[in-house]
Amino acid sequence: MYNFFGYFMAVYLIVFGTILGWFIIQLRIENRLLNKNKNSNEGVNLDGT
């Protein structure tokens, strides 16, 4: 007999864990890129100002 609830939980954890992980990765990339621009010698803002 299969543990149906275990399969259900596994799928929900994988899907929502992946989505949450995706947002965390994007936040980290965004922060890193914005900091890189801020610390660059040129001092040119990304919006051209």
User: What's the CA gap between 14 and 9, in Å, rounded?
Assistant: 8
**Position 24 contacts another protein (CB under 8 A):** no
Report which residue type is found at 7.
Y
Provide the total of helices (H) and of strands (E) in the chain, helices listed first: 1, 0
Residue 16: CB atoms within 10 Å? 10
Q: Interface residues for another protein in 29-48 (CB under 8 A)?
A: 29-31, 33-34, 36-37, 40, 42, 44-47
Minimum Å gap between C-beta 30 and another protein is 5
Residue ranges in contact with another protein by CB under 8 A: 2, 4-5, 7-8, 10-12, 14-16, 18-19, 22-23, 26, 29-31, 33-34, 36-37, 40, 42, 44-47
